[in-house]
Structure 1
């Protein structure tokens, strides 16, 4: 973890809307999806925010314990920062916290990429819940829990990887 940095667009110490339970949220910078109606448009730039050491991010997470139950990776696009988030996720799991990750990629695409990308494979095996799919403004609904549009799915990653099929969480 020494000398590793992450371009962070923002950090919420406490959130109830970015996953189940009280959690901290790390918003990373950089996204190539360019979804129309994106609520975090400024975070699409890979230069937005601050370059923060993983060590300092972990200290901030630890300062929010024992109140928080988990961490959410959001953005921007978290999967643009696979190595850094994998390192951070290992430390987060050692703290006993669960991990949610929002991504514009689909689970099916990620699963195919995991075969050739060892870092992605390691990261996905540390993530508990994946909210997948690009935000689609034509399918938005303000009453949806933990997602912005109906095409996005809330996926139990462990069960999905074990059963080799997408297992949707019923929340």
Structure 2
């Protein structure tokens, strides 16, 4: 499903502030050992989505301060490289994601990286609503683009279909143009 380019769409219009799953200390969702938060809710409805259940904004558990503190404490463990935000769609859940990434940066500075998976492209997010642009400003690496089943290729690093890109957001901001991440 392609969403309209209406920049007035805010996550608060849909988000129920829930997460589908929290997976601490995994080595699948990005480089190194990571703490992965799968938010609930996505309107893209990609055919072949691997996490279809998380498309419902009402799925999973309510995001609480206690859960947030557990995630932040886990991220502080030695050997954890960073936080991964997946879904669902993180940019349709900016209240949850912004709360977490702001506190992560306050507590750990730049010693932990932030990876986000999104159906939006980098270019779309750069021209989106303020809440989405603010979340993007905390992101180090963005795996962008909707999953397209016809472009599925097994064993792609960190993505499922050939149209999806791994964008180095930090370098992209510095250069003023999209810079792909080197694996």
Tell me how far apart the structure 1 counterparts of residues 55 and 158 of structure 2 sit (CA, whole Å).
Answer: 20
Tell me how far apart the structure 1 counterparts of residues 69 and 140 of structure 2 sit (CA, whole Å).
Answer: 18
Structure 2 residue matching 1:69: 3-state secondary structure:
strand
TM-score by length of structure 1 reads: 0.89
Over aligned residue pairs, what C-alpha RMSD do you find? 1.5
Single out whichever of 35-44 and 161-170 deviates more from structure 2: 161-170
User: Deviation at 1:97?
Assistant: 1.4
CA contact (8 A) 1:54 1:88 kept: no
Deviation track 1:65-123 (CA, whole Å, cap 9, x = no partner) reads 1231100000000001113211210111232311000000111110011xxx3332322
TM-score by length of structure 2 reads: 0.84
Moved over 4 A (4+): none
CA contact (8 A) 1:54 1:84 kept: no
Tell me how far apart the structure 1 counterparts of residues 131 and 49 of structure 2 sit (CA, whole Å).
Answer: 27
Structure 1 stretches lacking a partner, 5+ long: none
Q: Note if 1:100 corresponds to 2:118.
A: no
User: Deviation at 1:56?
Assistant: 2.2
CA contact (8 A) 1:37 1:137 kept: yes
Q: Choose from 114, 139, 143 the match for 2:151.
A: 139
Aligned length: 164
User: Deviation at 1:31?
Assistant: 0.3
Single out whichever of 83-92 and 44-53 deviates more from structure 2: 83-92
Q: Note if 1:61 corresponds to 2:72.
A: yes
CA contact (8 A) 2:35 2:71 kept: no
Structure 2 residue matching 1:33: 3-state secondary structure:
coil
